[in-house]
Structure 1
Amino acid sequence: MTSTVKSPSVGRFADLKTLYAEMTATPEFQAAFGDPLALSIVEPGEQPGEYEMPEPFAAQAECGGIIATIFDLFADTRLEPLAAEIAWGFVNSFHFVAGKLERREDSLAMEVGDLARNPDMSEIYNNELEEKQLLCQSTAEQREAIECMRDYAAEMYRVQSGWPWSPARGSKASSASSASQIAALDFLRARELSAREKHLPRGPVVVFSGPAQWHDWETLWAKLDEIKARIPHMTLVTTGQRKGADAIAAAWAARAENNVPLVAYGLYGNGRKTAFTRNRKLAELQPVEALLCEGSGLQANLYQMLRQANVPIHAFRKVDQVADTAVRRMRA
């Protein structure tokens, strides 16, 4: 007995949009937009209803188009240097809303748990529990959709600007992102409390640190490629600066072919000892290797700490960089 695969068909003109979306949208957008809940509560306090979700391909195309349009509009004009800054804000808007939805979802999940642990079997109780569960599911659905759009917009930002997008604070971590960028506070909290898997990179730690002024990215990328070939499941921990050596490392981690979790270990707290305390905590992560670029006394202090901990160190001097005029723009 032979079976045949039914080819997609269009019975009416209105079906074209759906068929096109099914054939072209990425799996991430199909998962986030293609199979919505039968009933959804759009806002707390509203009644459940049959609300439509955006078509997967339309959501993907419009989301990417927003970022691309900014760069196209400003290209070859006096506003071109501002394109990345404006586009960053658009991506951050998705990130802000996703974070707000995540906090609401967590709060609702706690309320559902409290209700489930204290049943009274009344009709009022059952209605409240069902409504709270649906509201939690609806919020999770909204969060997943916004996270999907954020991740795609962030990837468009990376392709257009040559640099990975990272939030001003907190983490960008989701199941759909190619490279999670995780704030150090979330990373340490997850290790201590066994929180969500998406905030808990399990790979061997490779520490990276360098000054805010560093231009020779190709040499650093080559060494990072070499390390990843030996440690394919590595987690890259940087000192969290958004320019210079740390930004070069972040751009490498964000490349699709690398897919390396990145922990941005910035400075938390006040006082002159904060940076040196950060260095000590980096050493306490028990890294398997470190890549350090010559900089201030902070890099020298970190070098000494890691050397005392017998961590293999790859050190790079400023004078050994390729001349700035010969450095090409980072590969997309």
Structure 2
Amino acid sequence: MSLLLTPDLTTFDGVCAAAHDGRDHPEREALEQLGEALMTETLDVIVDTALEDFQTTIAEGLIGAFQSIALRLQRECDRAADEVKRLTRDFDGSEIADVELQDATRKAHAAEAAVQAVELIRDRASDTYTLVTGEIWSPWRGSVRRTASTAAQIDAREALRAKRARAQAAVEPGAQVVAFRGSPKADTQVDAGRIFDALNWALGKWPQMKLATTSLNGAERLAMQWARQKGVDHIAAKPDFDQFRTAAPFRANDDMLALEPVVVLTLANSLDAGRAGELKPFGPALNLGQKAVELGVRHVAISGRRAG
């Protein structure tokens, strides 16, 4: 069952072949083309109309729909895998038991093929959305696992639960988390250059790093773009405003620090000379840097000079 249990080491074609279905599965290229076409057509219809103001909500909702489908199919896949484990554990060598095990294995592989098919559509729709709008889709809840073509997006709450339980390797944050918080106003070309410099420095020091942000617009979105380009997994510690209200951004800082980052990077204000004097430093970024120092975590405030 290694093909089912280690999807990151398989190809879509391999999973489909393992399903042993008499019917053909859609080609990988066809699924990716479907995701691209769905997003392209959606954006083309919306642009220059009264719906353009709601473009982000509509487009991200479309991607999120495929994410929801993938999660639902994954639950079916998990149940099928559990059945295979049960039958394997209770296998008595009889012909009936062998047939049951083979059927259950085929069902498990078929479910995994369906999950990967939907993920291919979702990922291409997401990539197209980024290419056309410059925005990055990130799920509000839950994780997006790593596929052959994308980096993982990991929900911080799932990562923390896995860290405590040591039971969910797919979302285990690992030992090289780099936390970053930046001002939503630090979104100029100058800021992007320094953010990328700082993250490249971090990647050089910690090649297995995962990037943790709160997925805020501005500086953190730029950092997420960098992670996507570099294939670096992203841990999303999104503020829970429903539960914590105005304290949510600072509770998100606590979530990131609970991941035990190797370094905390902050950019509390734009480095663009034309804007910095007009803006107040971003409080949550200052708070994260201060808390990191208090905990003895290395803190680097991104400035106009290279990190070292």
TM-score normalised per structure 1:
0.72
Structure 1 residues 50, 231: closer, same or farther in 2, change over 3 A?
same
Q: Does 1:37 align with 2:20?
A: no
1:314 counterpart = 2:291: no
8 A Cα contact 2:239 2:248, kept in partner: yes
When residues 307 and 70 of structure 1 are mapped into structure 2, their CA distance, relative to the original with a 3 A threshold, is: same
Q: 1:94 to 1:111 in 2, by over 3 A?
A: same
User: Which residue pairs with 1:218 in the alignment?
Assistant: 189
Structure 2: which amino acid aligns with 1:221?
A: A
TM-score, normalisation: structure 2: 0.77
Separation in 1, partners of 2:261, 2:28: 43
- Matched position secondary structure for 2:120: helix
1:310 to 1:34, Cα distance in 2 relative to 1, 3 A:
closer
**CA 1:208–1:136: 2 relative to 1, 3 Å:** same
Q: Please list the CA deviations of residues 298-324 of structure 1 after superposition, one character each: whole Å capped at 9, or x if unmatched.
A: 4333221122225232157xxxxxxxx
- Give the structure 2 partner of residue 69 of structure 1: 41
Structure 1 unaligned segments of length 5 or more: list them: 1-27, 41-48, 317-332
| Structure-2 change in CA distance of 1:162 and 1:195 (3 Å) | farther
**In structure 2, distance between residues paired with 1:67 and 1:236:** 27
**Structure 2 residues without counterparts, runs of 5 or longer:** 1-7, 270-280, 304-308
Q: Is the 8 A contact 1:172 1:180 kept in 2?
A: yes
Please tell me whether residue 291 in structure 1 is matched to residue 262 in structure 2.
no
How many positions carry a matched residue from both structures?
A: 277
Whichever of the two has the greater Rg, that structure is 1
Do 2:11 and 2:148's aligned partners in 1 also have CA atoms closer than 8 Å?
Answer: no
Report the Cα distance in structure 1 between the residues aligned to 2:120 and 2:190, rounded to whole angstroms.
33
Structure 2 contact 213–236 (Cα < 8 Å) conserved? yes
- Matched to 1:252, the amino acid is W
Are the aligned partners of 2:156 and 2:255 in contact in 1 as well (CA < 8 Å)? no
**1:180 offset after TM fit, Å?**
2.0
**Matched position secondary structure for 2:103:** helix
Identity within the alignment, %: 28
Question: Once the two structures are superposed, what CA deviation does each residue of 1:270-314 show, in whole Å capped at 9, x if it has no partner?
Answer: 347665444344334133241232556543332211222252321
3-state DSSP class of the match of 1:166?
A: coil
Is 1:304 matched up with 2:275?
A: no
Letter in 2 for 1:168: W
The structure whose residues are more often helix, as a share, is 2
Higher relative contact order (CA 8 A, sep 6+): 2
Q: CA RMSD in A?
A: 3.0
Letter in 2 for 1:306: A
- Structure 1's 191 and 299: CA in aligned 2 closer, same or farther, altered over 3 A? same
Cα pair 1:205 1:237 within 8 Å, conserved: yes
Matched, 1:248 2:222: yes
Change (3 A) 1:288 1:300: closer
Tell me the amino acid that sits aligned with residue 141 of structure 1: A
